[in-house]
């Protein structure tokens, strides 16, 4: 008997042949895929390691001149230290004394003069002792002029003593001032005596 399917084509059952992939083939494909990924990562790792090694080699090359330079600098400093110490102890000390005496004279206002000035140095410490006179307009004005002069000189001394000095060696100047009325050449004047002493700043 011959069977004839009279249903329209769209309603007919079509047999589809299923293709089957063997498990061995799938595993082999996955293996090669993982192998390719591993090779790419290995290549990247080797490339990075080569760059790191090259960078370290370049750094070693740069360190050698730096070490030589540091050694040379240390040697030069050790040779110059005696000369620097002599310069600071003798030359700079005399320059500082001259600057202090000049400031004491230059800052004097009109109508005021010095009768005695003494400067002593002991290491970094400086002691400046002065006596002088001020014309007497009134007692209050004379004392105010003397006080202003002393304060200006104190500020100048601290500037000179601390120029180029590190923070732990900074100095401050303490003042002791006394005044009294005196008669000089039949004129009444205000005599003053002042002591400046430099001290290492505390804290």
Domain-embedded: residue 169: yes
Contact indicator for 176, 155 with CB cutoff of 8 Å? no
Residue 3 lies in a domain: no
pLDDT given for residue 56 in this prediction: 73
| 13-64 per-position pLDDT tens digit | 555 455 555 555 655 666 667 677 667 777 776 777 777 777 777 777 666 6
pLDDT, mean of residues 97-114 = 88
- Give just the sign of the alpha carbon dihedral 163, 169, 172, 174: negative
pLDDT digits (tens, 9 = 90+) for 68-86: 666 667 766 666 666 655 5
Are 195 and 114 members of one domain? yes
**Same domain, yes or no, for 179 and 196?**
yes
> Is 83 in the same domain as 130?
no
C-alpha span between 56 and 52 (Å, rounded): 6
In a domain, 11, yes or no: no
Instruction: Classify residue 16: in a domain, yes or no.
Output: no
Measured CA to CA, the distance from residue 143 to residue 155 in angstroms comes to 18
Distance CA 60, CA 170 (A): 42
Place of tokens 């990247």: 44
Residue 5 — very low, low, confident or very high, per pLDDT cuts 50/70/90? low
14 inside domain? no
Domain end point (choices 106, 123, 152): 106
User: CA 89, 90, 91 angle in degrees (round to 5)?
Assistant: 115
In a domain, 18, yes or no: no
Asked if 121 and 98 touch (Cβ cutoff 8 Å), the reply is no
Write out the residue range of the structural domain in which residue 47 sits.
23-106
**Domain match, 91 and 68 both:** yes
Cβ atoms of 163 and 92 closer than 8 Å? no
Instruction: Say if residue 179's pLDDT is above 60.
Output: yes
Rounded Cα–Cα distance for residues 75 and 162 (Å): 29
Asked if residue 7 is part of any domain, the answer here is no
122 plus 192 within the same structural domain: yes
Number of domains the chain is built from? 2
Last residue of a domain, one of 77, 106, 135: 106
Residue 81 phi/psi, 5° resolution? -55, -45
Out of 46, 74, 106, a domain closes at 106
- The model's pLDDT over 110-136, given as tens digits with 9 standing for 90+, comes to 889 999 999 887 777 889 999 999 988
**Are 66 and 146 in the same domain?**
no
Position 8 scores a pLDDT of 58
Distance in angstroms (rounded) separating the CA atoms of residues 49 and 145:
79
């Amino acid at each position: 008997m011959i069977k004839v399917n009279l249903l329209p084509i769209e309603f007919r059952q079509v047999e589809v042949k299923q293709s089957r992939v063997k498990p061995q083939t799938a595993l082999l494909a996955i293996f090669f895929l993982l192998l390719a990924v591993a090779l790419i990562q290995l290549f990247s790792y080797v490339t990075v390691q080569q760059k790191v090694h090259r960078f370290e080699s370049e750094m070693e090359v740069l360190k050698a001149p730096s070490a030589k330079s540091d050694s040379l600098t240390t040697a030069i400093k050790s040779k110059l230290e005696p000369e620097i110490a002599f310069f600071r102890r003798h030359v700079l000390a005399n320059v500082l004394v001259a600057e202090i005496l000049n400031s004491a004279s230059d800052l004097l206002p009109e109508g005021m003069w010095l009768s005695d000035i003494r400067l002593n140095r002991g290491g970094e410490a400086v002691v400046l002792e002065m006596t002088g006179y001020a014309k007497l307009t009134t007692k209050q004005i004379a004392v105010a002029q003397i006080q202003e002069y002393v304060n200006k000189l104190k500020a100048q001394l601290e500037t000179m003593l601390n120029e180029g000095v590190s923070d732990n060696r900074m100095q401050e100047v303490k003042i002791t001032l006394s005044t009294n009325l005196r008669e000089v050449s039949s004129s009444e004047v205000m005599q003053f005596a002042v002591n400046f002493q430099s001290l290492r700043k505390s804290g």
